[in-house]
Amino acid sequence: MAAKLKNAAAIVGAAESNEIGYPEERGPKVTSLQHHIEAIRNVSDQTGIPISDIDGIFSAGWSSQLAEYLGLKPHYIDTTSVGGCSFQMHVHHALAAIHAGIIDVALVSHGQAGWSYRGAGGRRGNTAPGEIDPGIEMSMAYGAFGAPSSYAHAMVRHMHNFGTTAEDFAHISVVTRQWATLNPRALMYSTETNPFGGPITVQDVMEARLIAWPLTLYHCCLVTDHGGAVIVARPEIARSLRTNPVWIAGAGESMGHANMLEMEDFTATSASRSSATAYEMAGMGPGDMEMAMIYDSFTITAAITAEMLGLAPRGKGYTLWKEGHAAPGGRLPINTNGGGLSFNHSGMYGMQLLVEAYRQLSGTAEDGVNGVEGKQTDARTCVVNGTGGTLSTTGTLVLTADG
């Protein structure tokens, strides 16, 4: 297999930051970020490749911040950070991504003030004491606590642009709870599993405690424990196993920003781009999708994502739930496990999306997990979209049932 990658890509330039070694003996200390930016500017000048042509970004822990800082919207984001060999791996991953036709120009970047800030920690190594991402420096004074405080701004802007209301979004909570009442593993399955479990109404959602207006508690996902894993294998192996394969027909990724401060349109995410890539790869479109697994950290996340995936017109994402299409028995089941809103949400919910999509398309949802029954739909295709950060990054998969 690996031989297919031979000569599939080349390194076309290599440069360094301006002041390496012991820069502080000649002038001010240089930050790790500055080393990155100078080296990137220099390799762009050397090769004549504009920074704006970079469509894949690789670094040891810096990738989304670097992309945001450079104003890039890459289609491949790899921030593998496993020590000093990370960069050899980045080249390997870039080779595979270029071979696969996902990207044309990969940037592999490194910046580390190992001397200037020797002894300093930080998750990306040697950041200056007290130094944080400038986007955080310029927003941390303003009383935002956790995801709801940020996502509420997107909902208000959606209401302004499209005339939507908090009641419209409340239907997403209500319908998603209907799915949870069919899934005994869902935290909100019933009042037996949780005092607040069982069916809810729009009025319940509207009258729940305010977290960040216009988000009440029931517009927000749960916070729970969860673990999950999937195995991906090539077709010969997939066909030889006792499990039913679910095929990865399409995949795409993109990002808008790292910090909400840089969100251009508060009513849109990069899922429009990540899904376009995935649909094109699959040779299918939103009209071909028979169910959807959509990250629902908040009702607004699900509504916007439905729009970005082309499942509903702009401004009308909520209608899929309000009109019952996304509900049990509807034409487009969405979040059949009960969603992050009512099933489980561990903080990074994307794995839960994958597990449920596999169960539905492999026809094993009724078999359940760990002996517990689920709710089987008859869907043969599913679009899966994860959203990360504060409506920041997206990954889309188009999955199909076998046969």
Partner 1 sequence: MTYNKPIPPQGQHTKPFWDGAREGRLMLPRCTNCNRVHWYPRLICPTCHSMDIEWIEASGEGHIHTYAVQHRAFGGWGEEVPYVTAYIDLKEGDRMMTVLRGVDPMRPEDIKIGARVRVEFEAASEDTHIPFWRLAED
Residues forming contacts to partner 1 in the complex (CB under 8 A) are 28-29, 31, 33-34, 37-38, 40-41, 44, 50-52, 69-71, 128, 130-132, 134-145, 148-149, 152-157, 160, 209-215, 259-262, 266
Rounded to whole angstroms, what are the CA distances from 139 to 121, 133, 135, 148, 287? Answer: 22, 10, 6, 15, 40
* Shortest distance in whole angstroms from residue 160 CB to partner 1: 5
Beta bridge partners of 383: 292, 398
Beta bridge partners of 28: none
Nearest to partner 1 of 113, 289 (CB atom) = 113
- Paired tokens of 140: 């941390």
* Shortest distance in whole angstroms from residue 45 CB to partner 1: 10
* Shortest distance in whole angstroms from residue 388 CB to partner 1: 20
Nearest to 189 by CA among 228, 224, 227: 224
Nearest to partner 1 of 300, 354 (CB atom) = 300
* Shortest distance in whole angstroms from residue 265 CB to partner 1: 10
Give the DSSP per-residue string, 2-69.
GGGGTTS---------SS-SSGGGTSS---HHHHHHHHHHHHHHHHT--GGG--EEEESS-HHHHHHH
* Shortest distance in whole angstroms from residue 317 CB to partner 1: 17
- Paired tokens of 133: 């991402």
Nearest to partner 1 of 261, 351 (CB atom) = 261
Asked, as a colleague might, if the bond just before 286 is cis with ω within 30 of 0, I would say no
If DSSP codes are grouped into helix, strand and coil, which group holds residue 109? Answer: strand
Nearest to partner 1 of 34, 335 (CB atom) = 34
Euclidean distance between CA atoms 199 and 42, whole angstroms: 59
- Paired tokens of 236: 């010969």
Q: How many CA atoms lie within 13 A of 74 on its CB side?
A: 27
* Shortest distance in whole angstroms from residue 275 CB to partner 1: 24
The residue ranges of DSSP E strands in 352-392, in sequence order, are 381-388
Nearest to partner 1 of 51, 182 (CB atom) = 51
Q: Which helix (H) or strand (E) holds 249?
A: strand 246-255
Euclidean distance between CA atoms 103 and 287, whole angstroms: 27
* Shortest distance in whole angstroms from residue 215 CB to partner 1: 8
Do residues 166 and 173 touch, judged by C-beta distance below 8 A?
Answer: no
* Shortest distance in whole angstroms from residue 3 CB to partner 1: 37
The residue ranges of DSSP E strands in 263-392, in sequence order, are 291-294, 381-388
Nearest to partner 1 of 168, 356 (CB atom) = 168
* Shortest distance in whole angstroms from residue 299 CB to partner 1: 14
Nearest to partner 1 of 178, 216 (CB atom) = 216
Nearest to partner 1 of 160, 239 (CB atom) = 160
Nearest to partner 1 of 8, 12 (CB atom) = 12
